[in-house]
């Protein structure tokens, strides 16, 4: 049996940063120490060796929209970005509201074998917001996180029921916060820019009202609630206050909401259309502060591939979303004054816990732990070239940009999925 | 100038240049045979994805008077109905060898997207709520002509109505203020854009408060669907609060003029027959449409020989 040794790197996990070699055998970490020997020795000098990244928010598009992405291509994009687990969003066709679809997604993930694909379940049948999905059945099939992502659950009573019912199942409800009546036809943040461009505005309050509502419902029911892709300063404040009150809420932010502002839309390039929309510099500053002070628990990509022809529609017709898996690390290191231990917390440890997979991802690097690891060079730079992306789609806003922070190797269950920056399968 | 997509892109110098050029075109249009060979061999395509009477016809007339060949793309009989994408349509037409697209579309930004897909010039004939630059040129030219002023310093221009959804308002705010006018916007808050604090305008919610100091009253069309979207409770109430009737006309200074980009909603924003008003410029706005669009097409397409061509137009 091959013994892999990651030699000379800096290990970063929940215990902090320390130098050491990591030996891997049979899919697990077997030894951590100095001057370890092995059959396959990787020089990790100057690199960080950390638990593999976990994305709470990936649209893998399969089943239903394989033209944009498949579970295999999305998994490969994830591996290249340093991920070992991706939570697959449920807005597939058919949606992930039945055990059959959940099993299909998980099996396709296993077949690809590049990351653990963790299917999320719908909160409501068909994501229509009318009746609860069979949450207990889905939970019994292993679903730990439920969301109607793409839409928020609009009905207050239904959301209350979902929280009450979900509490009994020990699962987490992840809300896409958007009061739909306030965002009908909306294209971009409601601001001076949308005033001048004549684009229908997407007001911050559409998000904040639902964040507030669900914080209060969490207070009432005691359910665990996770807030997806927060985008406004006020949302961060609401979550900060809720955490101060000891409520079981968590939150994520995307790399693009940390790095790009609303003025990007002045180019009329549909690549910048996302849901929620790119916001103001003030919001960006608040989101960054929220990550750094722990109010926001996780960076999540909201990786949303779309084929060229869909993004060549008019701004008001084009679907929202941009790629994220392969650029998340670079964007995070580029825009956040973050120490690497905290980066590993928000990209691996915290999201693993929120997704309910902390037994195998985001774990401390010690003997016995499954070898789901990333090795990245935090100083190496690279340029984003669309043709070099593993994703099937090309809708990245970072074309041509130089990123700092390069994934060298990704190991999933002890095997290289990415080695020397190249996907291994 | 490669494209005409917005007033901001055109800038003040471009605006003044086109207004001056329009004088030449007015002169051409006064001739017994109002046609010059300036754009012979050039091809102009009208790409209208939204209904239009005056804009489309005046662009086509303008192109013909400059001897350009014209093609009209009709959405209802085109391959767009077979599912052809806009990009493919634009690339196909470009392959046929065209020099300019005149584009109207219900979505903001389409002229910018099209200009990424073609080597031809793009003229924005209206995109969503965003811009309608040739209408602003028409309106500036009409004001110049009526008031005999090159610049609008000291003039108060009051724009009334559905500013929020109006590409005419966005283009005119930019153009009028570039020429030095004081622009006042009048609308209920629901029909104003979310934040106009960075626009060079004053805002009022009450029309009656500003009439006495208005030199030019610019009425906008109110679409009846604004009622169903809850922007105004009903059209009658809107007409009472913001519609132009004889009483309000009487409150204007005697020298004030009235404008409207058309098509008018009689009984809503226009409660009085504008042809009965001695100080209405509405017909002049339509009449100037052809000359202004001739100036635009000439400026975009006459190319390097502009000076020689202008000579040709002038003689």
Between B109, B195, B197, which is nearest A268 by CB? Answer: B109
Structure tokens at A85: 């687990």
Q: Which residue on chain B is closest to A182 by alpha carbon? A: B229
Whether residues A315 and B194 touch (CB distance < 8 A) is answered with: no
Residues of A annotated catalytic, as ranges? 302
Q: Is the pLDDT of residue B305 over 70?
A: no
Nearest to A192 among B85, B130, B198 (CB): B198
Lowest-pLDDT choice from A14-23, A61-70, B115-124, B228-237: B228-237
- In angstroms, the CA B13 to CA B56 distance is 26
pLDDT at A115: 98
CA–CA distance, A365 with A350 (Å, rounded to integer):
15
Phi-psi region of A309 (alpha: psi -120 to 50; beta: other; left: phi over 0): alpha
β-pairing, A402-412 vs A373-383, is antiparallel
List, as one string, the DSSP characters of A137-149.
HHHHTT--EEE-T
Q: Which two tokens stand for residue A116?
A: 């653990």
Interface with B, mutate which of A194, A272, A314 (most B CBs under 10 A): A314
Per-residue pLDDT, B304: 59
pLDDT for residue A323: 98
Question: Is the separation of the CB atoms in A155 and A129 below 8 Å?
Answer: yes
CB neighbour class for B244 (10 Å; exposed up to 12, middle 13-18, buried from 19): buried
Contact A82, A410 (CB under 8 A): yes
Q: Say how far apart CA A362 and CA A56 lie, in whole Å.
A: 12
Helix (H) or strand (E) holding A287: helix A281-292
User: Is residue A1 predicted with pLDDT exceeding 90?
Assistant: no
**CATH code 3.40.50.1370 for B7-131+289-314:** yes
| Facing residue for A198 by CB, picked from B112, B167, B195 | B167
Distance from the B107 Cα atom to the nearest Cα atom in chain A, whole angstroms: 6
Q: What is the pLDDT of residue B24?
A: 95
Q: How far is B40 from chain A (nearest CA, A)?
A: 33
Under a CB-based contact definition with an 8 Å cutoff, are residues A96 and A340 in contact?
no
Asked about B167 being catalytic, the answer comes back as no
Structure tokens at B286: 């339509």
Least confident interval from A88-97, B67-76, B289-298, B300-309? B300-309
- Domains with residue ranges and CATH for chain A: 4-48+368-423 (2.30.40.10), 52-355 (3.20.20.140)
d(CA A146, CA A109) in angstroms, rounded, equals: 18
For the domain made up of B133-285, the CATH class stated in words is alpha beta
pLDDT in tens, A150-181: 999 999 999 999 999 999 999 999 999 999 99
A198/B197 CB distance under 8 A: no
CA dihedral B84, B86, B92, B97 (to 10 degrees): 160
Q: Which two tokens stand for residue B7?
A: 């007033």
CA dihedral for A119, A121, A122, A125, sign (positive or negative): positive
| Among the listed residues A37, A44, A26, A9, the one whose alpha carbon sits nearest the alpha carbon of residue A419 | A44
Residues B71, B305 contacting (CB under 8 angstroms): no
- Contact across the interface for B110 and A314, Cβ inside 8 Å: yes
Alpha carbon distance A16, B250 (integer Å): 79
Scanning A54-178, the segments in alpha helix (DSSP H) are 71-80, 99-112, 135-140, 156-169
State how far the Cα of A161 lies from the Cα of A169, in Å rounded to an integer. 13
Q: Taking Cα atoms as reference points, which of A85, A90, A102 lies closest to residue A355?
A: A85
- SS3 sequence of chain B: CCCECCHHHHHHHHHHHHHHHHHHHHHHHHCCCCCCCCCCCCEEEEEECCCCCHHHHHHHHHHHHCCCEEEEEEHHHCHHHHCCCHHHHHHHHHHCCCCEEEEEECCCCHHHHHHHHCCCEEEEEEECCCECHHHHHHHHHHHHHHHCCCCCCCCEEEEECCCCCCHHHHHHHHHHHHCCCEEEEECCHHHCCCCCCCCCEEEECCHHHHHHHCCEEEECCCCCHHHHCCCCCCHHHHHHHHCECHHHHHHCCCCCEEECCCCCCECCCECCCHHHCCCECHHHHHHHHHHHHHHHHHHHHCHHHHHHHHHHHHC
Residue B124 binned pLDDT confidence (cut-offs 50, 70, 90): very high
State the first-to-last Cα distance of chain A, in angstroms, to the nearest integer: 20
**What crossing angle do the helices spanning B133-147 and B167-178 adopt, rounded to 10°?**
50
H helices of A296-369, in order, are: 308-311, 328-335, 340-344, 350-355
- Give how far B99 is from chain A: nearest CA, Å: 22
Peptide bond into A179 cis (omega under 30): no
**Token digits for A407?**
């994934």
| Interval B157-184 mean pLDDT | 97
Binning pLDDT at 50, 70 and 90, where does residue B277 land? confident
A195 and B CB contact within 8 Å: yes
A190 vs B113, B170, B194: nearest CB: B194
- Mean pLDDT of chain A, nearest integer: 97
Report helix, strand or coil for A82: coil
pLDDT score recorded for residue B226? 77
User: Which residue from B127, B131, B194 is facing A194, i.e. has the nearest CB?
Assistant: B194
pLDDT band, residue A367 (cuts 50/70/90): very high
Tens of pLDDT, residue by residue over A111-141, are 999 999 999 999 999 999 999 999 999 999 9
Q: Is A423 helix (H, G, I), strand (E, B) or coil?
A: strand
The answer to whether residue B308 scores a pLDDT higher than 80 is no
Mean pLDDT score, B304-312: 61
Report the pLDDT value the prediction gives residue A224, as an integer from 0 to 100: 98
Q: What pLDDT, on a 0 to 100 scale, did the predictor assign at position B307?
A: 56
pLDDT at residue B81 in the model: 62
Residue A96, pLDDT score: 98
User: How far is the C-alpha of B257 from the C-alpha of B217, rounded, in Å?
Assistant: 6
Q: What is the pLDDT of residues B83-108, one digit of tens each?
A: 678 899 999 999 999 999 999 999 99
Going by pLDDT thresholds of 50, 70 and 90, the confidence category of residue A85 is very high
Residue A94 CA: distances (Å) to CA of A120, A142, B234: 13, 19, 43
Q: What mean pLDDT comes out for the span B145-162?
A: 95
Q: Taking Cα atoms as reference points, which of B128, B137, B81 lies closest to residue B108?
A: B128
Give the residue with greater pLDDT, B180 vs B277. Answer: B180
Bond into A322 cis (ω within 30): no
Q: Phi then psi for B296, rounded to 5 degrees? A: -65, -50
Minimum Cα–Cα distance from B109: chain A residue: A268
Segment B37-63, tens digit of pLDDT: 999 999 999 999 988 888 999 999 999
Q: Is A220 exposed, middle or buried (0-12, 13-18, 19+ CB in 10 A)?
A: exposed
Nearest Cα to Cα of residue A268 among B10, B102, B113:
B113
CA distance B68 to B39: 5
Residues belonging to chain B with any Cβ–Cβ distance to chain A shorter than 8 Å:
85-87, 105, 107-110, 112-113, 127-131, 165, 167, 170, 193-199
Left, alpha or beta for A404 (phi > 0: left; psi -120 to 50: alpha)?
beta
Q: What is the pLDDT of residue A355?
A: 98
pLDDT for residue B203: 98
Whole-angstrom Cα distance, residue B259 to residue B161? Answer: 12
Q: Which residues of B touch A203 (CB under 8 A)?
A: 194
Instruction: Give the per-residue pLDDT at B82.
Output: 65
Q: What average pLDDT does range B28-37 have in this prediction?
A: 96
Using 50, 70 and 90 to split pLDDT, how confident is the model at A219? Answer: very high
The H or E element containing residue A88 is strand A83-88
Arithmetic mean of pLDDT, B14-32: 96
Cβ of A312 within 8 Å of Cβ of B87? The answer is: yes
Average pLDDT, integer, range A342-352: 98
- In this complex, do A195 and B130 lie within 8 Å of one another by their Cβ atoms? no
Q: How far apart are CA B169 and CA A343, in angstroms?
A: 48
Strands B216-219 and B156-160: parallel
Could you tell me which of A62, A66, A47, A58 has the C-alpha nearest to residue A7? Answer: A47
Side-chain-side CA neighbours of B90 within 13 Å: the count stands at 24
- Which residue in the set A192, A315, A316 is minimally distant from B195, CB to CB? A192
What residues does each domain of chain B span? 7-131+289-314, 133-285
- Identify the weakest region by mean pLDDT among A75-84, B12-21, B51-60: B51-60
Band the pLDDT of B275: cuts 50, 70, 90: confident
Residue B236 among the catalytic residues: no
The pLDDT of residue A261 = 98
pLDDT of B218: 98
Structure tokens at B65: 């008077």
Q: Following DSSP, what letter does each residue of A203-263 receive, concatenated?
A: -THHHHHHHHHHHHHHHHH--EEEE-S---HHHHHHHHHHHHTT--EEEEE-HHHHH--GG
Question: For residue A211, what pLDDT is reported?
Answer: 98
Whole-number average pLDDT of chain B? 92
Phi, psi torsion values for A260, nearest 5 degrees: -125, 140
B224 band by pLDDT with thresholds 50, 70 and 90: confident
Q: Which is nearest to B11 in space by CA: B154, B137, B164?
A: B137
Interface check for A201 against chain B (CB to CB < 8 A): the answer is yes
Instruction: Tell me, yes or no, if B132 is annotated catalytic.
Output: yes
CA atoms A257, A260, A263, A267: torsion sign? negative
Question: pLDDT at residue B64 above 70?
Answer: yes
Q: Do B107 and A309 touch (CB under 8 A)?
A: no
pLDDT band at B312 (very low <50, low <70, confident <90, very high): low
Q: Do domains B7-131+289-314 and B133-285 have the same CATH topology?
A: yes
> In chain A, whose CA is at the least distance from the CA of B110?
A314
B64 burial via Cβ count (<10 Å: 0-12, 13-18, 19+): middle
In a 10 Å sphere around its CB, with 0-12 CB exposed, 13-18 middle and 19+ buried, how is residue A317 labelled?
middle
Residues A74-88 have a mean pLDDT of: 98
Is B108–A198 a contact, with Cβ atoms under 8 angstroms apart? yes
Q: What is the pLDDT of residue B223?
A: 81
What's the pLDDT tens digit per position in A275-313? Answer: 999 999 999 999 999 999 999 999 999 999 999 999 999
In chain A, residues with a C-beta closer than 8 Å to the C-beta of B175 are none
């Amino acid at each position: 049996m091959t013994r892999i040794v990651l030699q000379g790197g800096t290990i970063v996990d929940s215990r902090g940063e320390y130098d050491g070699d990591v030996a891997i055998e049979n899919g697990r970490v077997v030894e951590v120490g100095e001057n370890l020997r092995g059959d396959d020795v990787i020089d990790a000098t100057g690199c960080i060796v950390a638990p593999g990244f976990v994305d709470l928010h990936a649209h893998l598009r399969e089943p239903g929209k394989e033209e944009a992405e498949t579970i295999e291509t999305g998994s490969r994009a994830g591996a290249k970005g340093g991920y070992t687990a991706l939570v697959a969003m449920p807005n597939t066709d058919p949606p992930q509201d039945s055990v059959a679809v959940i099993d299909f997604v998980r099996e396709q993930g296993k077949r690809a074998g590049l990351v653990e694909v963790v299917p999320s379940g719908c909160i409501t049948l068909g994501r229509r917001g009318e009746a609860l999905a069979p949450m207990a059945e889905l939970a019994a099939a292993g679903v730990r996180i439920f969301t109607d992502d793409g839409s928020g659950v609009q009905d207050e009573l239904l959301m209350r029921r979902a929280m009450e019912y979900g509490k009994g199942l020990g699962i987490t409800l992840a809300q896409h916060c958007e009061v739909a009546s306030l965002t009908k036809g909306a294209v971009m943040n409601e601001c001076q820019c949308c005033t001048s461009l004549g684009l229908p505005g997407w007001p911050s309050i559409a998000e904040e009202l639902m964040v507030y509502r669900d914080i209060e419902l969490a207070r009432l029911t005691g359910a665990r609630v996770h807030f997806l892709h927060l985008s406004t300063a006020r949302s961060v404040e609401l979550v900060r206050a809720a955490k101060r009150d000891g409520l079981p809420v968590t939150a994520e932010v995307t790399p693009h909401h940390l790095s790009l502002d609303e003025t990007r839309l002045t180019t009329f390039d549909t690549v910048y259309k996302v849901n929620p929309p790119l916001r103001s510099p003030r919001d960006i500053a608040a989101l960054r502060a929220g990550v750094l002070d722990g109010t926001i628990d996780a960076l999540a990509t909201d990786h949303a591939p779309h084929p060229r022809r869909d993004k060549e529609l008019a701004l008001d017709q084009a679907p929202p979303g941009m790629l994220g898996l392969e650029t998340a690390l670079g964007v995070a290191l580029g825009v956040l004054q973050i120490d690497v231990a905290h980066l590993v917390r928000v990209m691996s440890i915290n999201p693993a816990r929120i997704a309910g997979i902390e037994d195998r991802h985001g774990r401390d690097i010690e003997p016995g732990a499954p070898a789901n690891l990333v090795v990245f060079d935090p100083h190496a730079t690279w340029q984003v070239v669309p043709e070099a992306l593993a994703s099937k789609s090309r809708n990245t806003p970072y074309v041509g940009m130089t990123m700092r922070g390069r994934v060298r190797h990704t190991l999933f269950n002890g095997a290289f999925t990415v080695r020397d920056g190249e996907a291994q399968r | 100038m490669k494209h005409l997509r917005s007033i901001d892109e055109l800038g003040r110098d471009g605006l003044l240049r086109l207004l001056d050029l329009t004088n030449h075109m007015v002169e051409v249009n006064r001739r017994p045979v109002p046609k010059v060979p300036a754009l012979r061999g050039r091809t102009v395509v009208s790409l209208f994805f939204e209904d239009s009477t005056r804009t489309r016809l005046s662009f086509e007339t303008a192109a013909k008077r400059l001897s350009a060949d014209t093609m009209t793309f009709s959405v209802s009989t085109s391959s767009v109905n077979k599912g052809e994408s806009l990009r493919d349509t634009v690339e196909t037409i470009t392959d046929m060898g065209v020099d300019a697209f005149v584009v109207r579309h219900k979505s903001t930004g389409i002229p910018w997207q099209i200009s990424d897909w073609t080597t031809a010039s793009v003229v924005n004939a209206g995109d969503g709520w965003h811009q309608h630059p040739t209408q602003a040129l028409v309106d500036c030219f009409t004001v110049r002509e009526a008031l005999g002023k090159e610049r609008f310093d000291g003039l108060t221009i009051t724009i009334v109505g559905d500013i929020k959804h109006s590409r005419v308002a966005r283009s005119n705010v930019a153009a009028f203020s570039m020429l030095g006018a004081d622009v006042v916007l009048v609308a209920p808050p629901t029909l104003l854009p979310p934040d106009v604090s960075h626009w060079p305008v004053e805002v009022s919610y009450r029309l009656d408060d500003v009439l006495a100091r208005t030199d030019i009253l610019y009425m906008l069309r109110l679409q009846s669907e604004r009622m169903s979207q809850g922007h105004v409770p009903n059209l009658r109430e809107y007409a009472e609060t913001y519609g132009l009737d004889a009483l309000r006309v009487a409150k204007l200074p005697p020298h004030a003029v009235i404008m409207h980009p058309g098509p008018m909603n009689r009984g809503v924003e226009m409660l009085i027959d504008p042809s009965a008003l001695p100080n209405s410029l509405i017909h002049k706005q339509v009449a100037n449409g052809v000359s202004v669009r001739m100036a635009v097409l000439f400026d975009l397409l006459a190319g390097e020989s502009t000076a020689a061509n202008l000579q040709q137009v002038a003689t």
